[in-house]
Structure 1
């Protein structure tokens, strides 16, 4: 057998786009943190899990994670992708609502995702005028 015959070939349907991998990594990172924090809540403050907003927020993050793994992101428009991190922010808001544990900081994950995915959307042209500031420090 030659070297080309022994290497495993991945069918085209299994290959993923860089966009899909990026979405998976961001969403799975958030889901992993949510799972770890949920386990910590169960151990340290079990009454908090019984709060309807906390349970709903955790469930939504897990549902969004499954959706992120299932959806064909390379066939979805770039702007539509922003719906998932915005929905994550909403779910994090539910977790943090009426909570003494302050989980609002978890919004950093979807915000960083939006910033990295749409980093060129808000930038100005690359001309010389965009590099100079129009105001001066006193």
Structure 2
């Protein structure tokens, strides 16, 4: 029996503390549907590719969906290795969208995350770079006037 990947990470432990903040009723749907919704939200960035604040907002919504799919999976006892892999693939696809719009250095960080995802799948220990959170942070830094050229 494979080890449960979702219990092997300090990031997941932190997420479980966030789960306590969920006071709204959770939908009883397949968590993969929520994962795919996060991809759709990020793909919407292509409609307005140079509006950084909107891109950051859409990435934030995608991160919310990413949290929500795990929350629904845990609440309804639907955690699985397959679900973890679907979630990881959806995360990498959303990062691919960012790297296609803002090539340097995002594409190289995306490649590193692909490698780390593969290692996570093999070792059952979750570890990736939080690229979407980093993107939001850099957009905030950009609007504060401290642009370092990481947004294209």
When the two structures are superposed, what TM-score results if normalisation uses the length of structure 1?
0.42
For CA contacts below 8 A with separation 6 or more, give which structure has more relative contact order.
Answer: 2
TM-score, normalised by the number of residues in structure 2:
0.39
Structure of greater Rg: 1
Structure with greater helix share of residues: 2
